Amino acid sequence: MPRAIVTGNGNLLVAMDKNSMLQDLYFPYVGMEDHISYRHMHRVGIFTDNQFSWLYEDEWKHSTNYIEDTLVTKSTSENKNLKIGLELNDFVYPDENFFMRKITVENHADHDRSIKVFLAQDFHLYGDKQQDTAFYDPKNKSVIHYRKRRYFLISGMTKKKKGIDSYTTGKSEYRGLEGTWRDAEDGSLHEHPIEQGSVDSTIEFDLFVKRKEKIVLYVWICAGKNFKEVTNMHEFIMKETPERLLANTINYWHSWVYKEKHQLNYVSDEIKKKYKQSLLIMRTQIDNRGAIIAANDSDIMKFNKDTYTYMWPRDGACVSLALDHAGYGEICRRFFKFCADVMSEEGFLFHKYNPDQSLGSSWHPWIKDGKEQLPLQEDETALVLVALARHFDNSGDIEFIQEMYLPLIRPAGNFMSKYIDKITNLPKPSYDLWERKRGVYSFTSATVYAGLKATAHLSNKLGHFHHHKNYLNAAEKVKQAILDNLYDEESGRFLTRLRPDPDTGVLTKDYIVDASMHGLWLLGVLPPDDPRIVNTVKSIFDTLKVDTHVGGIARFENDDYMRVPGSYANIPGNPWIITTLWHARWLIAISKNEEDLKRAEDILNWVVGHMNEAGILPEQLNPFNGEHLSVAPLTWSHAVFVDTVLEYNEKNEELSGEKICK
């Protein structure tokens, strides 16, 4: 189940499902150490009138959203059988590492009654369940889970009472024991004060709610590295008061999202709203130490026992381009420093990294068909340089570029200019954008061209004129090689790739249609209205459009990734948000009037229509019913949406003459 809503502060990230159950909790890095873990959750349950129900049961009806222009949720849950309504405002405090829930409990019954709220914690510290301790802390009226350098304190309060009313700790996932959450279902907890090993806990709050009235309950989870850190945080919450902390958080995110004026005069109010929410959602997926994480949805574990919780340099670069475009370039600096820190001695970036800069898992081999090879996707190195040049052009920060020159710019430029086939002048084979096959790709070649141009540009600005000339010459050779080798006269379009023979290395043409060929114009190899580009884009659209009521554009022909039950006989693959928005960006680029732009606006509305209620975008969609597939939120999807909205607005300004007037 892709995540329905997220909140975080760059150190602590919490992801919830459509039932408002906590599914993922990352600390102290975004994307590393999920302390809830795959197929587990923190539960919320209600007991009243001798009836019990967990919020994920079918009798509850849910709506999940944000308070507008913030990362504070505004979700509702209603149970007509129990005659109870809940409103949940969930947030991670920007300046301290705690997650808080404001739970407003409304009694819909015609009589006063006692309502018990139970919260069951199923922590998997460091991602598993062993050697943990859970205990009741009577001084702070809290339950604390800990192991080594990870501590989590859980407590709460109402206006009249501080601390939890009852608790229990116990074994779970051990010798058939499901966990203490089962203890809650009779409305009473056993108050077992401590347990070790494979443990969980449940806490209880006793509310008395008059007929047709509401009571507010605040519950929080403090995350830290020792006992003192979480208890000090708990005391801070009690002193500052949850009400004030909630108001502070709302004000902070309002200030953050309105740091830029966002004068999107040519987009609808709904698109503008989702644009701002996309910026906020992107921020939750970025670790404060620089890692821009692809996605933090552990549900993907069921497919390959791995996740998207890595920093792909390519994804990070594309997100950086969007953030710089939107005016949030200060976030990008930490990303570029991260890339400089992990740059290989050879001058390229590996497949992916963990948020602590260690290498991420990979499926790219170091040897294939008996021959050694570099396990890389060269676009990941090249796009970082493209993004860095954009960052400099926007910021003019010459000192930062100087700082990046020796550890990042020069080694990457040297690698790209040397990792070239001497016969074709194209980049040597590497893995494609989609990380599936090895070859010489139009997309990768375009990124190398753009990356070398970016390196030349930055070298020139720093006064390295000799290097500037060398990188620029190398870029022009790659561009000419693309035109000579990857354009196919017979079909009148570009090829996705040239496939190397494993024995001879001879390159043969591969005629499969792939949406990544948009990179040829996006990265400036040719203008978007060049007839060769126009024919290529037409081939992409005609071949990869999804002819169901869902619509959208697939990645490439016969894409089998994340297929769902149903006939794909006339469906090239699942529609992706990214690939569909690439087409919109092309339509914007070639538009000559407002009528031309209408087709791009239709795609923007299509994307908004496939967001969930909270504005979350997935990687891809079910082609039969439009449900979110793979992971959500996918940071890259939101980044391309942001870029496309800005380009659409800028094109309207250009056509109206507003830019000229400015």
> Residue 409 above 60 pLDDT?
yes
pLDDT attached to residue 38: 83
State how far the Cα of 480 lies from the Cα of 487, in Å rounded to an integer.
Answer: 11
Helix (H) or strand (E) holding 203: strand 199-209
DSSP for 147-198, written as a single string: ETTEEEEEEEEESS-BS-SEEEEEE-SBTTB--GGGGGGGT------EEEES
Task: Give φ, ψ of 593 to 5 degrees.
Answer: -155, 175
Strands (E), 299-414: 367-368, 371-372
pLDDT at 662: 45
Assign a CATH topology to domain 5-257: Beta-galactosidase; Chain A, domain 5 (2.70.98)
Over the chain, what is the mean pLDDT? Answer: 96
Q: Which residues of 111-124 are buried (b: 16+ CB within 10 A; e: fewer)?
A: eebebbbbbbbbbb
The domains of the chain are located at 5-257, 314-544
Provide the pLDDT confidence category of residue 216 given band limits of 50, 70 and 90: very high
Please state, in angstroms and rounded to a whole number, the distance separating the CA atoms of residues 584 and 282. 21
- 43-48 vs 51-54, strand pairing mode: antiparallel
What one-character-per-residue DSSP string does 264-294 give?
-TTS-HHHHHHHHHHHHHHHHTB-TTS-B-S
Task: Please give the Cα distance from 352 to 344 (Å, whole number).
Answer: 12
Which tens digits make up the pLDDT trace of 609-645? 999 999 999 999 999 999 999 999 999 999 999 999 9
Alpha-carbon span 461 to 176, nearest angstrom: 66
pLDDT digits (tens, 9 = 90+) for 586-613: 999 999 998 899 999 999 999 999 999 9
Quick one: average pLDDT of 60-75? 98
Residue-wise pLDDT for 244-289, tens only, equals 999 999 999 999 999 887 789 999 999 999 999 999 999 999 999 9
Could you read off the pLDDT of 86-103 as tens digits, one per residue? 999 999 999 999 999 999
* pLDDT tens string 438-496: 999 999 999 999 999 999 999 999 999 999 999 999 999 999 999 999 999 999 999 99
Q: What is the pLDDT of residue 302?
A: 63
Distance between CA 158 and CA 215 in Å, rounded? 8
- Supply the pLDDT for residue 1: 61
CATH no. for 314-544: 1.50.10.10
